[in-house]
């Protein structure tokens, strides 16, 4: 018979062994971040509410970062849940919190301080910090001329770090960091003269410059930098490795380039004078025809803002114009097209818009089923301009060059060849001014972008209303007089 004292050491050893076994079992069974995302069926992502990252319009969620991370979630086979941070400090604080976001996709640039908080993925976009000033004011040409200027940047941004470094060399530099604004607010404040200067990345300047017609780039402050996604600090590389594999894949297969082209590839087509004129015409001309655009776009199941953008590209929303080639009216229809679409008077703006809507819908319907959106819309616009036959020729040229005939990014490279004999002599429909539809589509895309922003419904809440986060900086006051027709 064993005594109680003899049992105690064995019992104690058994308890220790059992405890260790349970601890080890718990470690083995605990899922890593990637496994947890897949088990939950949800990818939780935090971002910024801005044109270059994530915002909502009447069509739903959109933005460069949103589309890129949405494709990642689709690749994982999980639902995407987006939340927006009030400011950059809040964004970094939220990463990795229990039941919180596991990924930040917000146009982030790595820094030594940030590396203490998070880990960064492979790069997907190169940007350059730029000093922005107001047209008509003295243009600073180097860092020494920032002294004495009223400057504001985002709190917690790498731009604030840059200015802090400059201040060591030029103690007279003064700047304010704010967590109550976004980049779009900073650009608006420069545009309106509330501040003298700001420092933002080149992609945000390019995307927003058309809304703020007074802003100008003074100079680049430093070299180009890489934007990356961020995950929580630690030794769990499961999600980070998956992200890097995905980013490498979309870089290689062209998806990333197509997104860049969609959001940034057409941002400079208007120039400052074109942007100013368009802003004026939004107030002076569009209201006369807006209801017609909405009525016939709805009837033909196209976006009225796209239809309006075509009208502006064709005639600057002027109903009585006639080109040297004989096309007439607000939508600049040919005689044959007008007759085919049931338009008896091309100079009647209502009839012209009706005809343009029917013709755009017809062009889309004629395209091959293999062409998907958004490329399908760009192809339809090109066909609207140059004709479906010439567009087919360009697609065939793309195929011969090993490019994708269903992607606008590839086909638009081929269209200019239709004006070169060595190429058009090999096509069915021959010569065409192939560069024109490329510019035609690029301009319409930019006008459409602006119209999309202008017509967005305002979100509820004082922060949005007062901060003007979702409204482009187009002067709403009535101009003294309308410019003469261009």
* Confidence (pLDDT) at 485: 29
Pairing of strands 151-154, 175-178: parallel
The whole-number pLDDT of residue 53 equals: 87
37: nearest Cα among 76, 66, 72, 65: 76
Asked if domains 33-124+228-264 and 276-455 share a fold, the reply is: no
359 CB-near residues (< 8 Å, 6+ apart):
331, 333, 337, 340, 341, 384
* CA gap 106, 220 in Å, rounded: 22
Per DSSP, 50 falls in state B
| Beta strands 103-109; 215-220: pairing state | unpaired
What pLDDT is attached to residue 271? 61
Nearest alpha carbon to residue 381 among 408, 354, 345, 403:
408
Strand partners, 132: 198, 217
**pLDDT value at position 17?**
54
Per run of 10 residues, the mean pLDDT along the chain (length 486 residues) is 49 55 55 93 92 69 90 96 90 90 95 92 95 95 96 95 95 93 89 95 81 87 94 93 96 89 65 71 92 96 95 94 82 92 96 96 95 94 91 96 96 91 85 87 89 61 29 33 30
Domain ranges of the chain: 33-124+228-264, 129-222, 276-455
Structure confidence at residue 478 (pLDDT): 35
Closest-CA residue to 209 (of 145, 273, 158): 273
Gap between the Cα atoms of 317 and 282, Å rounded: 9
Tell me what pLDDT residue 23 has.
Answer: 54
Assigned CATH topology for domain 33-124+228-264:
D-Maltodextrin-Binding Protein; domain 2 (3.40.190)
**What is the pLDDT, as a whole number, of residue 209?**
72
Task: Report the distance separating Cα 441 and Cα 361, nearest Å.
Answer: 16
Task: Give the residue numbers marked as catalytic.
Answer: 314
Distance CA 370, CA 368 (A): 5
Domain 276-455 adopts which CATH fold? Answer: Lysozyme (1.10.530)
The two three-digit tokens of residue 257, written as one number: 């380039």
Least Cα distance to 278 among 132, 79, 453, 457 occurs for 453
Count of CA atoms in the C-beta half-sphere (13 A) of 76: 28
**Third-level CATH fold of 129-222:** D-Maltodextrin-Binding Protein; domain 2 (3.40.190)
Which has the closest alpha carbon to 114: 167, 81, 72, 160? 160
């Amino acid at each position: 018979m064993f005594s109680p004292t003899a049992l105690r050491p064995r019992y104690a050893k058994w308890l220790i062994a059992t405890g260790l076994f349970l601890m080890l079992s718990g470690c083995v069974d605990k899922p890593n971040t990637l496994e947890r995302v897949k088990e939950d069926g949800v990818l939780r992502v935090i971002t910024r509410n801005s044109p270059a990252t994530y915002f909502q319009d009447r069509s739903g969620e959109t933005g460069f970062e949103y589309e890129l991370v949405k494709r990642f979630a689709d690749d994982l086979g999980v639902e995407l849940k987006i939340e927006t941070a009030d400011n950059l400090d809040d964004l970094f604080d939220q990463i990795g919190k229990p039941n919180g976001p596991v990924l930040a996709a917000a146009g982030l640039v790595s820094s030594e301080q940030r590396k203490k908080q998070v880990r960064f993925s492979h790069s997907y976009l190169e940007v350059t910090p730029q000093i922005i000033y107001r047209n008509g004011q003295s243009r600073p040409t180097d860092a020494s001329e920032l002294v004495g200027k009223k400057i504001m940047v985002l709190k917690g941004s790498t731009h604030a770090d840059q200015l802090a470094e400059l201040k060591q060399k030029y103690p007279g530099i003064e700047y304010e960091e704010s967590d109550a604004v976004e980049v779009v607010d900073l650009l608006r404040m420069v545009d309106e003269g509330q501040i003298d200067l700001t420092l933002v990345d080149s992609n945000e300047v390019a995307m927003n410059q058309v809304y703020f017609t007074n802003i100008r780039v003074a100079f680049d402050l430093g070299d180009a930098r890489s934007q990356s996604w961020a995950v929580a600090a630690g030794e769990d590389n499961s999600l980070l490795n998956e992200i890097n594999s995905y980013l490498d894949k979309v870089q290689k297969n062209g998806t990333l380039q197509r997104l860049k082209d969609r959001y940034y590839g057409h941002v400079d087509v208007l120039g400052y004078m074109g942007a100013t004129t368009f802003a004026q015409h939004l107030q002076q001309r569009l209201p006369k025809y807006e209801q017609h655009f909405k009525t016939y776009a709805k009837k033909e199941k196209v976006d009225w803002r796209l239809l309006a953008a075509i009208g502006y590209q064709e005639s600057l929303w002027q109903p009585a114009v006639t080109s040297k080639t004989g096309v007439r009216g607000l939508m600049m229809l040919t005689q044959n097209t007008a007759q085919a679409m049931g338009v008896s008077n091309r100079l009647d703006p209502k009839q012209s818009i009706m005809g343009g809507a029917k013709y755009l819908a017809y062009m889309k319907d004629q395209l091959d089923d293999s062409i998907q959106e958004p490329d399908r819309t760009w192809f339809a616009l090109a066909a609207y301009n140059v004709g479906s036959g010439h567009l087919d020729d360009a697609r065939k040229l793309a195929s011969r060059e090993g490019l994708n005939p269903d992607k606008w990014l590839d086909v638009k490279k081929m269209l200019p060849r239709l004006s070169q004999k060595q190429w058009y002599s090999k096509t069915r429909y021959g010569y065409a001014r192939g560069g024109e539809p490329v510019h035609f589509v690029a301009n319409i895309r930019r006008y459409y972008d602006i119209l999309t922003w202008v017509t967005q419904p305002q979100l509820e809440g004082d922060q949005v209303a007062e901060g003007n986060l979702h409204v482009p900086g187009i002067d709403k006051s009535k101009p003294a007089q309308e410019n003469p027709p261009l």
